Structure 1
Amino acid sequence: MNFDYFWLFRSLPAVIIGLTVHELAHAYTAYKLGDMTAKNDGRLTLNPLKHIDPLGFILIVIAGFGWAKPVSFNPDNLKNKHRDEILISLAGPFSNFLLAILFLIVARGLYFFPYFSGTEVGLATINLLILWSVINFGLFIFNLIPIPPLDGSHIYMTFLKETNPKLLQNMYKYGTLGLLLIILIQSNTKIEILPLGPLIRGITNVFISILQFK
């Protein structure tokens, strides 16, 4: 397998930051909604070692996809189970969305300094921040895919717990396998089952235009 070590070196910090903030957002939202499980598990922290799953991280390095350590919560501690479970699930992806915008804002702000706007090293720093933004927009869009076990599936999966638990179990089982199959196909062929690339480029270009990058 041929690795682009330079791209890996540049992108891994964004992946680590993105996954850490993502899982912290899940944990903090659950905590604010009344559940102490994540707090008791030590997940209310920016320490990436508390959030990174070793196997999932290795797969990110060698295959370009993977996962972090899921945040646990007890639905029985939530006041409004359906609503609060959805809020907890969506908190992760939207934290990546905000982080992506933050990286772009910092990159745009650096343009005001001659060192960054007029030197090769400075422009490389700005481009690195834009890359980190793209990665986090990618985490945002990817996790909103409504396929189990991704966060987007919880918009409807939370209701299946009571209405059809057997269907819920099957969707988790086959949804995970299906998702891995889709990722493998897209990673190794030119077939794009899920148009993630165009969506990520589109949302990035929208905010680059808003911030008026030159």
Structure 2
Amino acid sequence: MDLSAEDIRWIFVGLFTLIVSVAVHEFGHAIVAYKLGDDTPKRQGRVTLNPIAHADPIGTLLLPLVGGIYGAAAGTAGGFGWGKPVQWQPHRIRKGIKMSTASILVSVAGPGMNLLLGTLLALTHVLLLKFEVLTVGSDVGQILTFAVMTNFVLMFFNLLPVPPLDGGHVAQALVPYKHRASFESFAKFGPFIILGVILIPQFRMLFQTPAMWCADSLYKGFAALLLS
């Protein structure tokens, strides 16, 4: 396996970007659950942006690193990963908040944080271009673009309505009670469906295409607003 210095650099850029983006994602779940009245994430040290608190040794470090190495060697996309799931207790949520509502709010908070981070990074990139701190195509600019795309990919991937993804939890909260048993039967196949979505290129378009469209539209919007 022959990797160039450029390959190695991008492997570690990708790993660092994923670690930070996953931490921001999981922090979103933790802070919303905590604000809704459940102190479980706080007691477990998850209401923090410290990546160490949210990193899963296999999902955040090992698999993304191995996937990045083999992806670079094959000239394809790198690895994929996940963070340590945030634990929260629905029965600890403040009175007056429906359990289904709390589940939706906690679930969408993770992708929402990726949307926020991706938007802020894109805005920062365009501002740096406006004030000529960066030039088009610079190394730092490429890293920022990569980070924006990473966050939008994480957002749309996690919004897929398949358990145990965040979108799956939202779907479960919205399913009428009479169909709950059917949905729970479907949920058993969730991990296999997710694996297929990740491994099969045609299925990856389910989250990669909207992520690319969102990032492109955001950059064009900021450029039209700030660079014209």
TM-score (norm. length: structure 2): 0.81
Matched, 1:206 2:210: no
| Structure 2 residue corresponding to 1:61, chosen from 42, 55, 65 | 65
Structure 1 residue 127: deviation in Å?
Answer: 2.1
Partner of 1:15: 18
Change (3 A) 1:43 1:161: farther
Percent identity between matched residues is 34
Is 1:114 the equivalent of 2:114? no
1:65-104 to structure 2, matched below 5 A, reads 65-78=80-93, 79-104=97-122
User: Deviation digits for residues 135-169 of structure 1, max 9, x if unmatched?
Assistant: 10111111101011110111221356965665454
Deviation at 1:117, TM superposition (A): 2.8
- In structure 2, distance between residues paired with 1:199 and 1:13: 23
Match for residue 196 of structure 1 among 207, 210, 217:
207
Does the CA-based 8 Å contact 1:21-1:95 persist in structure 2? yes
Tell me which residue corresponds to 1:175: 190
For the residues of structure 1 that align with 2:156 and 2:174, how far apart are their CA atoms?
A: 22
- Is 1:185–2:189 an aligned residue pair? no
CA distance in 1, matches of 2:150, 2:10: 12
Q: Is 1:155–2:170 an aligned residue pair?
A: yes
Where structure 1 has 5 or more consecutive residues not aligned to the other structure, the ranges are: none
**CA RMSD for the aligned pairs?**
2.4
CA–CA separation in structure 2 for the residues paired with 1:95 and 1:160: 25
Q: Residue 149 of structure 1 aligns to a residue in which SS? A: coil
Q: What is the CA–CA distance in structure 2 between the aligned matches of 1:159 and 1:200, rounded to whole Å?
A: 24
Moved more, 194-203 or 43-52: 194-203
* Structure 2 unpaired stretches of 5+: 68-78
**3-state SS of 1:103 partner:** helix
Given that residues 100 and 174 in structure 2 are in contact (C-alpha distance below 8 angstroms), is that contact kept between their aligned partners in structure 1? yes
1:105 aligns with 2:123: yes
The CA deviation at 1:13 is 2.0
Give the corresponding residue for 2:148: 133
Task: Determine helix, strand or coil for the equivalent of 1:96.
Answer: helix
CA distance in 2, matches of 1:14, 1:180: 22
Conservation of the 8 A alpha-carbon contact between 1:25 and 1:92: yes
For 2:171 and 2:132, the matched residues in 1 are separated by: 50
- Partner Cα separation in structure 2 for residue 131 and residue 193 of structure 1: 17
- My pick for the range that moved more, 4-13 or 34-43, is 4-13
